[in-house]
Amino acid sequence: MATPLPAFTIVSFTITDLLEDLGDDAVFFHLDLTINENLYHAIVSFDELEKYLKQHKPAEADYLNKVRRTIGGFGPKQRPVVNMCEEEGYDFEKPVSEFIAAMRPLEHLIPVNKKNSAGHSEAFKQKAADLKATMEEGKSFNLRGNLFLEEIMELLTNKVLEIYPEIFNSNPQYIIDLKDKLITHVLKVGEDINELAWKAAKDKG
């Protein structure tokens, strides 16, 4: 288990995502905080926060999951979930700061104003740049893959409605069961097609 941080004060809190740069709906929470008059930067992914909440605050994890289900579509939809939660008054800074206090040891924070922080920060920036360059190539596939999944889901749902209208005119549970079945198969097809397209794009012969 991680060693709890010493007492800290939050200086700033911001939320970013990878949608514009990489077409990936992944959200990250950034905090600048002071510990013993030293400034540090911490980054927590939405996935890390969600896992923490499931273990320590299941009611809040259930709330995030409920919001996700109301949005529909494929993929994590982390940015829409965050936006909707904030509109409803949910304050992400509180659970994120609690996560950092319990799960981020001091050595895992990024020093900002220490004498040796320049090299550390530059190394971090370079690592982020390398990761971005590696993932940039997959941006098109991320965007097209999500679009493909949602369009196939819509087409199949409409076709089922046309041929099997009784599913939609009976117990609402049948609609839920239908959605679950379609999602399972559409995800598998989408993964296979995206993998095939990736191989085709790499094939120079």
- What span, in angstroms and rounded, lies between the C-alpha atoms of 40 and 114? 9
* Residue 165 pLDDT exceeds 50: yes
* Residue 174 pLDDT exceeds 80: yes
Q: How wide is the angle at C-alpha 20 spanned by C-alphas 17 and 23, nearest 5°?
A: 85
* Residue 135 pLDDT exceeds 60: no
Identity of the residue numbered 194:
N
The highest-confidence range among 106-110, 133-137, 161-165, 182-186, by mean pLDDT, is 161-165
Average model confidence (pLDDT) across the chain: 81
The token duo for 7 is 């007492």
| C-beta of residue 110 within 8 angstroms of C-beta of residue 120 | yes
Strand partners, 66: none
The token duo for 170 is 């009976």
* Residue 128 pLDDT exceeds 70: no
Specify the pLDDT at position 71: 81
Read off the pLDDT of each residue in 90-101 and give the average, rounded to a whole number: 94
Read off the pLDDT of each residue in 70-80 and give the average, rounded to a whole number: 79
The token duo for 24 is 């990936």
The token duo for 90 is 């949910």
The closest of 55, 161, 159, 140 to 102, measured between CA atoms, is 55
* Residue 188 pLDDT exceeds 90: no
Q: Angle at which helices 172-202 and 139-163 pack, to 10 degrees?
A: 140
Specify the pLDDT at position 81: 92
pLDDT band at 118 (very low <50, low <70, confident <90, very high): very low
**Three-class DSSP category at 143:** helix
Helix then strand then coil, % of the chain, to nearest 5:
65, 15, 20
Share of the chain above pLDDT 90, in %: 32
* Residue 156 pLDDT exceeds 80: yes
CB count within 10 Å of CB 199 equals 9
**Three-class DSSP category at 171:** coil
**CA-to-CA dists, residue 162 to 158, 168, 178, angstroms:** 6, 10, 14
pLDDT band at 92 (very low <50, low <70, confident <90, very high): very high
Specify the pLDDT at position 151: 86
Among the ranges given (69-83, 125-139, 144-158), the one the predictor scored with the smallest mean pLDDT:
125-139
Read off the pLDDT of each residue in 128-143 and give the average, rounded to a whole number: 60
